[in-house]
C-alpha cells in the first residue's frame, strides 16, 4: 500500500481552550488520544508507513511517536510555518521523497477501508481520488457532486444553512499522485480543499463512494463531544 500522510499541524482554534495546550489530533477521545484511533485502524489494514505532518505544538506529537509502538514505520515531518493542508502535503512529499501517497486529516476518522480507496484509485488510473461518505448534515459539511457512471467529481458546494437531505461529502481521505501535489507551490500556504481540488475537476479527480462508512469529526466542541460518545459506545 502507498505511504499514508496524516495532517496534524493545525491549531484547532474552534476547539479552544482544549487545544491551547494540546494539538487537536492528541485531544482525548474515549480515554485515548484521537490519533491513536486513527493509527489503530491503519494498523489493522496493514499499512507499512505513516508520516505525521506537524506544526502547532509539534513537540507533543513527536513525544507521542516516541512513546507508542505500531506495526508500521511512524515518523513526523515538521513545517517551519503554517502552510495549509495543500502546502503541508507538498512539504512532506518533498521532505520524504514520496510519489503517490494517501493523505488523511488528523481530526477526522474515516471508517472506510483505505486499502479499498487505494485499489479504486489504481484501477481508475487518475490524478487523485477522494473518499466520499454520506451525511444528513449538508449545512455542516457542504457536498460533493460527481458523475455516477464515471465517478468523476464535477463540483464542490460550500456548506450553507437551510439545506436538508442526505448528501455525499469529502471524508478527508485521499490518494494523491505527484501530478497533483507537485503542482502545489512549494513553501506557500495553500488549501487542498478550496484551492487544489477545484482546479483538478475534469482533469482526473474522482470520488470513491463508501455508503456505509462511519465518519467522525472532532473539529467543533459539539462534534468532539459526539465523537467521544460514539467511540465510547463502539
Which residues belong to the active site? 159
Q: Which residues contact 103 (CB under 8 A, 6 or more apart)?
A: 4, 5, 6, 7, 89, 173, 174, 175, 176, 192
Maximum C-alpha span of the chain = 47
Q: How many CB atoms lie within 10 A of CB 136?
A: 10
Q: Which of 39, 197, 167, 12 is closest to 104 using CA atoms?
A: 39
Enumerate the β-bridge partners of residue 216.
109
Distance of CA 154 to the CA centre of its chain: 20
Helix ranges (DSSP H) in 31-132 = 34-44, 58-67, 84-96, 114-124
How far apart are the C-alpha atoms of 104 and 90, rounded to whole Å?
14
Indicate if the alpha-carbon torsion angle 167, 172, 177, 181 is positive or negative.
positive
CB 84 within 8 A of CB 66: no
- Asked, as a colleague might, if the bond just before 17 is cis with ω within 30 of 0, I would say yes
Which residues are within 8 A (CB) of 198 and not within 5 positions of it... i.e. 6 or more apart?
A: 156
Amino acid at each position: 500500500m502507498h505511504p499514508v500522510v496524516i495532517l496534524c499541524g493545525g491549531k484547532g482554534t474552534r476547539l479552544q481552550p482544549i487545544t491551547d495546550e494540546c494539538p487537536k489530533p492528541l485531544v482525548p477521545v474515549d480515554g485515548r488520544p484521537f490519533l491513536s484511533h486513527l493509527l489503530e485502524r491503519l494498523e489493522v489494514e496493514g499499512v507499512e508507513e505513516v508520516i505525521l505532518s506537524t506544526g502547532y505544538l509539534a513537540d507533543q506529537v513527536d513525544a507521542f511517536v516516541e512513546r507508542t509502538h505500531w506495526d508500521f514505520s511512524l515518523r513526523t515531518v515538521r513545517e517551519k510555518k503554517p502552510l495549509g493542508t495543500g502546502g503541508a502535503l507538498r512539504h512532506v512529499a518533498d521532505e520524504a521523497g514520496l510519489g503517490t501517497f494517501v493523505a488523511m486529516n488528523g481530526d477526522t476518522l474515516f471508517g472506510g477501508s483505505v486499502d479499498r480507496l487505494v485499489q479504486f484509485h489504481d484501477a481508475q488510473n487518475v490524478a487523485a481520488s477522494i473518499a466520499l461518505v454520506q451525511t444528513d448534515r449538508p449545512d455542516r459539511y457542504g457536498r460533493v457532486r460527481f458523475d455516477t457512471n464515471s465517478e468523476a467529481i464535477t463540483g464542490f458546494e460550500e456548506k450553507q444553512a437551510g439545506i436538508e437531505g442526505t448528501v455525499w461529502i469529502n471524508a478527508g481521505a485521499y490518494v494523491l499522485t505527484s501530478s497533483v501535489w507537485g503542482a502545489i507551490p512549494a513553501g506557500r500556504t495553500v488549501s487542498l480543499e478550496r484551492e487544489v481540488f477545484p482546479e483538478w475537476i475534469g482533469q482526473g479527480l474522482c470520488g470513491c463512494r463508501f455508503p456505509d462508512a462511519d465518519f467522525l469529526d472532532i473539529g467543533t466542541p459539539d462534534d468532539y463531544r459526539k465523537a467521544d460518545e460514539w467511540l465510547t459506545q463502539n
